Amino acid sequence: MLLLDTAALPPEHRVDAFRAAFGQASVPCRIEHLGPAGAVRTRMHLWHYGRANLFTTDSSGFRLLRTPRHVRMESPPVVALAVQSSGVGRFSQFGADRLVRPGELMVNDLAAPYAFAWSGSGGSRAFQVSHDQLGLPAGVVRGAAPRLAASPLHDLVRDHLLRMARDADRVAGDPGAAALGTATTELVRALLVSAGAPDGLVATVRAETLVTRVRAYVRAHLAEPALTPERVAAAHNVSVRQLYKALARAGVSLEQELIGQRLELARTELLSPVGRRRPIAATARACGFADPSHFTRRFRAAYGVTPREWQQQPGG
């Protein structure tokens, strides 16, 4: 959902509109714009995924300051895990300062004071989830903050958030959006535990979130035909037997999960401007299908039409 696009507003109204939109999407804080008021520009979106949400901002320079007074205002305790999509952010919390470069994650405990800024222009995609949903001690969240990049889950979670933001207009209205929010919360929990928790808790959460992490890993590698069970298991430091046992307990078939996600990717690609011009076999390969004939059979069985018929339908 688009919260704000300042391009549609007179310059004199942009600062107030920015503050109102940010207040709707996040927690109380002071906002300072790093430039003339008339030059403020931003696009903000907010999508709900069950009880969690995804808040994106692409904007000219600004500074956020959440003070102890703001913290005392009534607002639910929330943790935000954000990926810097463009520009360089400057983040300070719990006495630590850091730069957040494009492609890096940062965790912000919104129940505590903080400062965050970027100059020039920048962008951020933040997944916001309540403390009670996350189910982690505050010390684990605080301990993870400076060590996110060292976790082997960093890139997986970052890519998942970027894809959520890219597909949000299409996905957030789907009946499965709440379940996606729950799965993303599990990924965030696993990352924070990996980066900042005692070894005993790490092992427990890794076991609890294995299926969620496997599904995210599969989504990230759909286009690779050599995505075998052995490779998936090795990427998660479990045996193939352990992998299949965990998936079976969750009622998930790795083969059907992989085929289903590849078919969904292909269905979207076939209606894209590039996909409408590209040969069907090329789209099949781009979505991880080595055999175009097999792709056509599976596509028709899943959707009741051939890839060619789907590609040529009007109004895509």
Each residue's pLDDT tens digit, 58-72: 999 999 999 999 988
Contact, 188 vs 157, CB < 8 A? yes
Q: 34 lies in which domain range?
A: 2-149
Rounded to 10 degrees, the C-alpha dihedral 77/2/217/261 comes to 130
Give buried/exposed letters for 274-310 (b at 16+ CB in 10 A, else e).
ebeeeebeebbbbbbbeebeebbebbeeeeeeebeeb
C-alpha distance from residue 152 to each of 106, 190, 191 (Å): 15, 10, 8
Percent of the chain with pLDDT over 70: 96
pLDDT at 208 over 80: no
By DSSP bridging, strand 114-130 and strand 30-33 are unpaired
**Does 70 fall in a domain?**
yes
pLDDT at 255 over 70: yes
**Does 306 fall in a domain?**
no
| Tokens of residue 200, six digits | 């005993």
Residue with tokens 């993303």: 184
pLDDT band at 90 (very low <50, low <70, confident <90, very high): very high
Q: Which of 42-51, 180-189, 195-204, 238-247 has the lowest average pLDDT?
A: 195-204
Task: Spell out the SS3 assignment of 69-118.
Answer: HHHHCCCCCEEEEEEEEECCEEEEECCEEEEECCCCEEEEECCCCEEEEE
Predicted pLDDT at 64? 94
C-alpha distance from residue 147 to each of 121, 177, 192, 272 (Å): 26, 29, 9, 39
Contact, 87 vs 103, CB < 8 A? no
pLDDT at 201 over 70: no
pLDDT at 316 over 80: no
Predicted pLDDT at 87? 95
Mean pLDDT value across residues 269-294: 90
**Does 269 fall in a domain?**
no
Mean pLDDT value across residues 64-86: 89
Predicted pLDDT at 240? 92
Q: What is the mean pLDDT of the chain?
A: 88
**Does 272 fall in a domain?**
no
Query: Between the ranges 6-20, 54-68, 140-154, 247-261, where is the mean pLDDT highest?
Result: 54-68
pLDDT at 290 over 70: yes
C-alpha distance from residue 114 to each of 64, 65, 186, 268 (Å): 8, 6, 25, 40
pLDDT band at 148 (very low <50, low <70, confident <90, very high): very high
Mean pLDDT value across residues 91-95: 92
**Does 112 fall in a domain?**
yes
Predicted pLDDT at 295? 94
Mean pLDDT value across residues 285-294: 90
Predicted pLDDT at 156? 92
pLDDT band at 219 (very low <50, low <70, confident <90, very high): confident
CATH number for position 44: 2.60.120.10
**Does 91 fall in a domain?**
yes
**Does 50 fall in a domain?**
yes
Residue with tokens 């379940």: 179
Percent of the chain with pLDDT over 90: 42
- Contacts of residue 144, Cβ cutoff 8 Å, sequence gap at least 6: 107, 151, 191, 192, 193, 194, 195, 196, 197
Taking the C-alpha atoms of residue 149 and residue 90, their distance in angstroms, rounded to an integer, is 16
Predicted pLDDT at 123? 96
pLDDT at 18 over 80: yes
When divided into structural domains, the chain yields a total of: 1
Q: Count CA atoms within 13 Å of residue 40 on its CB side.
A: 25
Taking the C-alpha atoms of residue 111 and residue 224, their distance in angstroms, rounded to an integer, is 41
**Does 293 fall in a domain?**
no
